[in-house]
Amino acid sequence: MARMNVALQELGHAMPNYKRATLQDEEGPEPAGDGSASPDSVEVGFRKGPGTLLSRLASRSQLELVLCAVAVSLALLLSVAVVTLAIQYRRDPSHSTCLTDACVRVASKILEALDTEMDPCQDFYQYSCGGWIKRNPLPNGRSKWSTFNSIWDQNQAIMKHLLENATFNSSSEAERKTQRYYLSCLKEQRIEELGSQPLMELIDKIGGWNITGSWNQTSFMEVLKSVSGTYRATPFFTVYVGADSKSSNSNIIQVDQSGLFLPSRDYYLNKTANEKVLAAYLAYMVELGTLLGGTPEPTRLQMQQVLDFETQLANITVPQAERRDDEKIYHKMSIAELQLLAPAIDWLDYLSYALAPLELADTEPVVVYGDTYLQQVSDLINDTDRSILNNYLIWNLVQKTASSLDQRFETAQERLLETLYGTRKSCTPRWQTCISNTDDTLGFALGSLFVKATFDRDSKAIAEEMISEIRAAFEVSLDQLDWMDEKTRQAAKEKADAIYDMIGFPDFILDNKELDDVYDGYEVSEDSFFQNMLNFYNFSAKVMADQLRKPPNRDQWSMTPQTVNAYYLPTKNGIVFPAGILQAPFYARNHPKALNFGGIGVVMGHELTHAFDDQGREYDKEGNLRPWWQNSSLEAFKNRTACMTEQYGHYTVHSEKVNGRQTLGENIADNGGLKAAYNAYKSWLQKNGEEKRLPALGLTNHQLFFVGFAQVWCSVRTPESSHEGLVTDPHSPDKYRVIGTLSNSRDFVEHFGCPLGSPMNPDLSGCRSWPRAERSPAPVLTLHTPLLHPPRHTRPHTRHPPQPHPQLGAEHGRQRGCSTPKTQLCPPNPDVLESGTAQCPLRCAPRLRRAGQRGPRESTRAKIPLLLPNNLPEMEAGGHPAPLFPCPLPVQLGFPIHFCWDQRAAAGTLVPSAVGGCRRVYLTIKSSFHLLQQFLVLRGVGAGGEVGSGAVGG
C-alpha cells in the first residue's frame, strides 16, 4: 500500500497550489496581517458582508474584543477537538480510520453530497447526490451543472491566467497565436465597432443573399463550395477525412448526413411538442436576417421557407438509434458511383474544391454513411426552388459565424437558447467565452500551456498502471462469460490486449517545432476576431485535405488535453484520457483507492468496454470493421443487449422515456466499466491489504467505491435540457447511469444489502436472457462518443463528423455589454473558489439564508468568531453584492469553510454553511488546522446530523 501511495502522484494536489501561487503573483496586493501568521493565530479572509457588521468590527476596540474571543474560542476548540479525537481513537482500537488532511477533506465532501435520509436500496442516486443537488442550484446561464462543468470551469480559470500573464513570452509561435486569438476575442469594443459588417461583406463575396439583397442565381455549386468547402459549414451533408473503418491504416473521404440546425430531427417533426422551440428558432432566423439588412416581412416569409426545407431534411434524416450498426451503414464507392447515387451535386467538382490542392479522379474511393439519405437529399435538392436552396446555404454560413459578431447577435442567440435549453439569462464573463473559443481553435497549443503548468508527468505512469489493472480485471471477466465461445473469447482477449492507451496529452504539443508545424499556415491577428475565425475554418479545411494521403496518426487526438472527458476510438482501438480529467474527484493521489477506482477507474473501464459494445465489437484488434465473432456468441450477445435496451427503455425523466437503443453502447460501457473497476479494486486489496476507512461516513471501503462512482454523476439541469439530452445524447441521463448500472451489479447489491425486489435490486426474472449471475455485459464501445458526459465545451464527438452546429451549445451562450453588472452568485461548486481563481475578478452575491429556512445537515456548521482585516474594501450599498475579497485571499493555506450570513452575523459571528458556498475562511494555523478539521467533521457525525448549534467559541 505504501508503494502505491507513493506511486500515485496526485495531479489535483499540485494544481491548486499552482493556481494559488499564480493568483497571488498576478492579482497582487497582499492584504495586511496575513501569511506569516503565528502558529497560534487564526486568520480569516472572506468577502465583505453587511455594513453594520463591518463598521462595528472596524472599530479598534471591537477588534480587540474579537481578537480576545478568537483566542479563547480557539483554545476551546482545540480542547474539544482533542477530546473528540481521543474518543474516536478509543472507539477504534484497530486505528483503521484514515485521519490525514486529505481523508478528512474528502470525507467531508462526500458527506455533504449525501442524502442520508434516503435508503440506498430505494434510490441510490438520491442517496449519493441528494445533498449535492440541494447545494447546487443551477448557476445562471447554464442549462446543466455537474462535476464535469465545475472541473472545466477550474481548467478555464487556469488557462485564463496563463494567457493573461503579462510576462507571457513563449518561444512557440503556436502558443503566441493562442494568446493573440484569445486577446482578439476579448476586444469587445472592436467587435462592436465592426457590427455586422464582416459577415455582410462575406455574403456579398460569395454571391449575395436573397434575404438581404440580390444574389447570383446560377451559382448553386459555387455557393455550396464556399459555404461548406471554405467555411466548413455542413448544409445537406458533411464531408470529412478520417480512417477507413475497413482499412484502418489509411484515411479516406467520408460523407454523412447533416444539415439541421436544431439538435435533432425530433425538434422539427414533433411540431406540437416543440411549438415553442420552432417559433423561437424562426424568430432567431428572422432577427439575424434583419440584422444583416433584410426587411422584416420578406425575411420572415423566406426564413419560413428555409425552416420548411429543414423540416423536409429532418424527415429524411435517419435517427441516431437506427445508425448503430456500422456494418450496415458503411458503403464504400467511387466518386463516380456517388455521382450516380446523388446526382444533384457535382461531386468531383465539389470534393476537388473542398480538398484542394489534392488532385482527385472520379475513381477516388469515398465511404458513404447512409446512402439512402444521400439519394433522397439529392432528390430534394432537385425538387426545391433555387432561391430557397440559396437562402438555406447562406443561412448555414450565417448561423456558423454569427456568434463572432457583435452583441445584438449574441442576444438573439441567447433568446433562442433560453427556449431551447431553458438556460436562464446570464452574463457569462467574456473571458470564459474566449477561453472556450480558443480551446475550439488552437486547443492543442493551449493544451501545451496548460500541461506545462499543471500536469505532473508521473501521472502518466500512474494512470498506465491503473489501466493495466483494470484491463486485467476486464480480461478475467471475459473468462467468466459462459455464453461466449472459446474462439471469440480468445479474439476478444487479443483485442483487449491490443488496446492502445493515450494519457494526458499527445507528445507533439511539448515540442515547439512540431507544435508550430501543426498550426503553420493559420494566420491569427490580435485585431480581428471575426477574421481569425474565418481563417481557422479555411485552415482546418486545408488540414483535412492534407490528411487524405497520410496514414491515420495516433498523435491526433479528438480531444484537447484540458478537456474533462475521455474516449475510445474504434479505428485505432485506442483509449484517450486527457490531462483535464486526471484530477479530483476522479483521481487524487492521496484519496483512498476505493475512490480512485470508483472514479477514474470506472472511466477507464468504461472506455475499455467500448471496444466491445454493440458498435465497438464490430471492429477487430487492428481497428478494422469486419466480422470476427462466432455466430453463437453473437446471438447470445444480442440477446443480452436486447435485455439492456429494454431495461433502460423503461426509465423516464419528466415522464419522457430514455431511448434504450440510442443509449445502448454507453449503457454497456457503464455496466462493463463498473464491473471491471470494482474487480480491479478487489485485486488491489488482495495484493495490498485493506485500506483505512474514511472518517465520519460509516461506509466500508467497498461501499465507498460505489458512492464515489455515483457522486461523479451528481448533476442538475433544466427540463428543456433534460429533454434535449433524451433525444440527442448517446448517454443515459446521469441518474440512470447510476441506477441502471448499480441495480445490475451483484457486488453493489451485496455490499448494501439490498433485498430482492427493492428498487436497487429488482427481480429481473422477466429478463431471463440477462441473468444476474452474469449481469455485466460483454464488453462494449463507442465510437467516439465521449465516454463521459460531454461537458459543455466539448464538441460532441459523435461518431463520424463533428456535430453540425457546435456553436449552438447551451453552454456557448454568452453575452456582452450586459446591462446588469457582471454579478454572479457564488459558484455552486466551492472548488472554483477554492482555486482562488475563477471568481476573483467577479463579484459574488452573498446568498442569504432566509429565516426559517432549514439548514442542510452539513457537518461543518459551527460558529466561529471573525477577525476582519483592516483593509476591507468599501461595501456596496443597498444589499448588493459586495466585491469579492481582493485576490488573493489573505492566507495561502487553508481549510475552506463556506459561510452564509444569517441573522447572527450582525453580532459578529459567521455561520459556516456548506450550503451556500458564499463565505469562505482560510485558517492558517497549521497546528490547530488539522484538529479543527477533525472536529468539524466528527461533530457532524457525532450529533447524528442535527448539528448547527455547537459554538466553537465566542
Beta bridge partners of 916: none
Q: Is residue 379 annotated as a catalytic residue, yes or no?
A: no
**Nearer to Zn ion (CB atom), residue 641 or residue 785:** 785
Stretch that binds Zn ion, among 489-497, 786-794, 831-839, 884-892 (CB under 5 A): 786-794
SS (H, E, C) 68-109: HHHHHHHHHHHHHHHHHHHHHHHHCCCCCECCCHHHHHHHHH
CB of 812 to Zn ion, least distance (A): 22
DSSP 3-state assignment of 453?
A: helix
**Nearest CB to Zn ion, comparing residues 303 and 604:** 604
Question: Following DSSP, what letter does each residue of 689-745 receive, concatenated?
Answer: -PPPBPSSS---HHHHHHHHHHHTT-EEE-HHHHHHHHHH-SSPPHHHHHHHHHHT-
Minimum separation from the CB atom of position 760 to Zn ion (A): 23
Q: How many helices (H) and strands (E) does the chain have?
A: 35, 17
Instruction: Please say which residue, 782 or 892, places its beta carbon nearer to Zn ion.
Output: 782
357 preceded by a cis bond (ω within 30 of 0): yes
Residue number with CB closer to Zn ion (35 or 796): 796
Q: How remote is the C-alpha of 954 from its chain's centroid?
A: 43
For position 741 contacting Zn ion by CB under 5 A, the verdict is no
C-beta closer to Zn ion: residue 399 or 565: 565
Would you say 172 or 782 has its CB closer to Zn ion? 782
- C-alpha cell recorded at residue 509: 504539443
CB of 610 to Zn ion, least distance (A): 5
Rank residues 352 and 782 by Cβ distance to Zn ion and give the closer one.
782
Selecting among 414, 670, 858, 902, the annotated active-site residue is 670
Q: CB of 47 within 8 A of CB of 883?
A: yes
Least separation, in Å, of the C-beta of 672 and Zn ion? 10
Residues in contact with Zn ion, shown as a per-residue x/- string from 350 to 389 under the rule CB under 5 A: ----------------------------------------
Choosing from 10, 175, 607, 858, the catalytic residue is: 607
- Name the residue with the smallest CB distance to Zn ion: 787
C-alpha cell belonging to residue 342: 446523388
Of 896, 750, 929, residue with least CA distance to 112: 896
At 382, is the secondary structure helix, strand, or coil?
Answer: helix
What is the nearest approach in angstroms of Zn ion to the Cβ of residue 613?
8
**Residue of 206, 285, 499, 787 that binds Zn ion (CB under 5 A):** 787
Q: How far is the CB of 143 from Zn ion (least distance, A)?
A: 21
3-state secondary structure of 257: strand
**Near Zn ion in 18-57, by CB under 5 A:** none
CB of 506 to Zn ion, least distance (A): 20
Q: 234, 397 in Cβ contact below 8 A?
A: no
User: How many beta carbons lie within 10 A of that of residue 646, not counting itself?
Assistant: 15
Contact (Cβ atoms closer than 8 angstroms) between residue 65 and residue 918: no
CA distance 271 to 281: 12
Least separation in angstroms between CB 730 and Zn ion: 7
Stretch that binds Zn ion, among 72-80, 324-332, 677-685, 778-786 (CB under 5 A): 778-786
Binders in 169-208 for Zn ion, by CB under 5 A: none
Per CB under 5 A, which region of 152-160, 211-219, 266-274, 774-782 contacts Zn ion?
Answer: 774-782
CA distance 828 to 129: 14
Nearer to Zn ion, 212 or 798 (CB): 798
Residue 226 or 573: the one with the smaller Cβ distance to Zn ion is 573
Q: Which residues of 735-755 are buried (b: 16+ CB within 10 A; e: fewer)?
A: bbbbbbbbbbbebbbebbebe
Within 10 Å of residue 771's Cβ, how many Cβ atoms?
Answer: 14
Q: Which three cell numbers stand for residue 47?
A: 468577502
CA pair distance 629, 477, nearest whole angstrom: 17
**Cβ proximity to Zn ion, 399 vs 573, nearer residue:** 573
- Residue 670 annotated to the active site: yes
Nearer to Zn ion, 666 or 724 (CB): 666
- Of 152, 249, 232, which Cα lies nearest the Cα of 805? 232
Contact pattern for Zn ion over residues 464 through 493, marking x by CB under 5 A? ------------------------------
The residue count for binding Zn ion (CB under 5 A) is 5
Span 667-726, contacts to Zn ion by CB under 5 A: 669
Q: How far apart are CA 106 and CA 101, in angstroms?
A: 9
| Window contacting Zn ion (CB under 5 A); options: 558-566, 626-634, 779-787, 807-815 | 779-787
Q: Residue 578: phi, psi to the nearest 5?
A: -65, 155
Residue (20 or 610) nearer to Zn ion, CB: 610
Q: Could you say which of 641, 782, 798, 860 contacts Zn ion (CB under 5 A)?
A: 782
Burial class (CB within 10 angstroms; exposed 0-12, middle 13-18, buried 19+) of 67:
middle
* Beta-carbon count within 10 A of 117 CB: 11
> How far, rounded to the nearest angstrom, does the alpha carbon of residue 780 sit from its chain's CA centroid?
22
x/- letters, 888..917, toward Zn ion (CB under 5 A): ------------------------------
Residue window 630-669: x/- pattern of binding to Zn ion, with contact defined by CB under 5 A: ------------------------------------x--x
Judged by beta carbon, residue 599 or residue 865, the one nearer Zn ion is 599
How many residues belong to the chain? 954
Instruction: Report residue 264 CA to chain centroid gap.
Output: 20
3-state secondary structure of 443: helix
- Per the rule left: phi > 0, alpha: psi between -120 and 50, beta: everything else, 696 is left
Question: At closest approach, how far in Å is the CB of 608 from Zn ion?
Answer: 11
| Interface stretch with Zn ion, choices 233-241, 276-284, 445-453, 777-785 (CB under 5 A) | 777-785
Q: How far apart are CA 822 and CA 429, in angstroms?
A: 7
Distances, alpha carbon 108 to alpha carbons 98, 103, 750, in Å: 13, 8, 25
Min dist CB 138 to Zn ion, Å, is: 25
Ramachandran assignment for 144, one of left (phi > 0), alpha (psi -120 to 50 degrees), beta (any other): beta
Distances (CA, A) of 882 to 693, 823, 830: 41, 10, 18
Nearest distance from C-beta of residue 780 to Zn ion, angstroms: 9
Closest separation in Å from C-beta 576 to Zn ion: 12
Contacting positions for Zn ion (CB under 5 A)? 666, 669, 782, 785, 787
Catalytic residues: 607, 670
